[in-house]
Amino acid sequence: MTTVILVLALAVGLYMAWSIGGNDVANAMGTSVGSGAVTLGGALLIAGIFEFSGSVLVGSHVTETIRSRILETSMFAADGPLGGDGPFLLALGMSGSLLAAALWLQFATLIGMPVSTTHSIVGAVVGFGLVAVGFRGIAWGKIVFIAGSWVVSPAMGGTLAFLTFVWLRHAVLRQADPVEATRRVAPYLALLVGTILSLSFIYKALANVVRDPHPAVAVLAALAVGGLAAIVAREVAARRLANPGGDGDPYAHVERLFGRLQIATAAYVAFAHGANDVANAVGPVAAVVGIVGANFAEVPTRVPVSRWLLAAGGFGIVLGLATLGYRVIATIGRHITEITPTRGFSAEFGAATTVLIASRLGLPVSTTHTLVGAVIGVGFAHGIAALNLRVLRRIIVSWIAEVPVAALLSALFFLLLRAVFL
């Protein structure tokens, strides 16, 4: 019985990682592919390297038994309301939740819809929790908080991306000499982007390694990186834009420079995603391993995550992005609005800044929702007609459906597993 539970949890965990890779890779590479800054094959290669590196090198080695604490683990303790079967039922519930979330993510990926991995697993855990312990076991305040992010995430990302692109259009694209304008603003832009991404890297990608770094140290380190980026940008801009004749289109030279900046940003997003979201797949598996290790006698609130499990999760994510990632990439990069390197850069910068601000304020935003909102923001800068409203309606419907669908599937799987094993 123990072996069966462990094998089941590992199998559905790998399936979940595969589904995450297929859907979430667009967060890093969607706008870069859509703008032509990198080919689809190049995007998958870059994302694969950085996703796996983030998962293995700085993925969390300790995870909460139930992430986001939307269920009270004490309800499943051996001396809790479920009695001695509580820990065993939690192990079954975690396995069923992973399967439910993975199935929903795969369906959304097959139809090209970008959805939130975190919200999917949250919905799945709520579904089995309702069946197992009823309404009293759910932290409804946290659910409302998470639901609020469906509005906050895209709104913040869209606003910042809109403002960024409007500024770029005024400061660079509509100048009499856009090449000279780019050379002038490039160092300051690199300073800002380098600082923002460094802070995000410290607080997001390295959050599992460096716990609560001192704000002054973080800011100084980020400014140092930003300053170095400014120096490099000044030299690169001077050399790349020195002879804009070539094809006779100065705008093409400007766009190519921003395309290179997009690739660097996308690599960071992939690394940070691997570091953070691998826990959505392997965290519940580690919880099951911890429960089994305690011989189903107790429910640990936090459990260790071994390096091999992080590597397995990273491999699953890379496999998912290699086999299915192109579908959601096409939606974000091509089907919502036309993306150029300057627009793609604006969207990525708006999304990264939003995620950083929200994480420091403790707001549970979704990276996927944020990026989609940012893409909408740069499209809206050209008027409502620049947006594909049919695709946007489908995306909004998928966002509304993700939590209840995952919850329903999870409840059904939990009932089935409970009937089979008890």
- pLDDT over threshold 80, residue 295: yes
Neighbouring C-alpha atoms within 13 Å toward the C-beta of 371: 30
Contact status, residue 110 vs residue 327, Cβ threshold 8 Å: yes
* Whole-number pLDDT of residue 66: 59
Q: Please state, for a pLDDT cut of 90, what percent of the chain lies above it.
A: 36
pLDDT attached to residue 64: 58
The predicted structure's pLDDT at residue 43: 85
What is the chain's mean pLDDT, rounded? 86
Residue 277 pLDDT more than 80? no
Residue 238 has pLDDT above 80, yes or no: no
359 pLDDT above the threshold of 80: no
Q: Rounded to whole angstroms, what are the CA distances from 92 to 121, 130, 185, 238?
A: 15, 14, 56, 60
Query: Within 13 Å and on the Cβ side, how many CA atoms surround 171?
Result: 14
pLDDT value at position 96? 94
Q: Which two tokens stand for residue 170?
A: 């005024």
Number of domain units in the chain: 1
pLDDT reported for residue 419 = 92
Point out which residues pair with 64 in neighbouring strands.
302
With CA atoms as reference, report the closest residue to 129 among 75, 81, 201. Answer: 75
pLDDT per position as a tens digit, 259-272: 888 888 888 878 87
* Mean pLDDT of all residues in 232-254: 71
pLDDT band at 303 (very low <50, low <70, confident <90, very high): confident
- At 61 the pLDDT is 61
Instruction: Pick the more confident residue, 81 or 19.
Output: 19
Distance CA 173, CA 378 (A): 14
Report, in this order, helix, strand and coil percent for the chain, each rounded to 5. Answer: 80, 0, 20
Q: Report the range of poorest mean pLDDT among 78-82, 226-230, 415-419.
A: 78-82
Q: Considering only CA atoms, which of 41, 8, 63 is closest in space to residue 207?
A: 63
- In this structure, are residues 256 and 291 in contact, taking their beta carbons and an 8 Å threshold? no
Which residues 6+ apart lie within 8 Å of 264 measured at CB? none
CA distance 37 to 194: 19
What is the spatial distance between Cα 396 and Cα 114, in angstroms, rounded to a whole number? Answer: 10
If one compares 146 and 101, the residue with the highest pLDDT of the two is: 101
- Is the dihedral angle over the CA atoms 81, 84, 86, 89 positive or is it negative? negative
| Distance, CA of 93 to chain centre | 24
Phi/psi for 176 (5° steps) reads: -60, -35
Residue 293 has pLDDT above 90, yes or no: no
pLDDT exceeds cutoff 90 at 101: yes
What count of other Cβ atoms lies within 10 Å of the Cβ of residue 52? 24
Look up the domain containing 78 and give its range.
2-421
Per-residue pLDDT, 223: 94
pLDDT tens, residue by residue, 5-34: 889 999 999 999 999 999 987 877 889 888
Q: What is the pLDDT of residues 107-121, one digit of tens each?
A: 999 999 999 988 898
| Cα(286)–Cα(293) distance, integer angstroms | 10
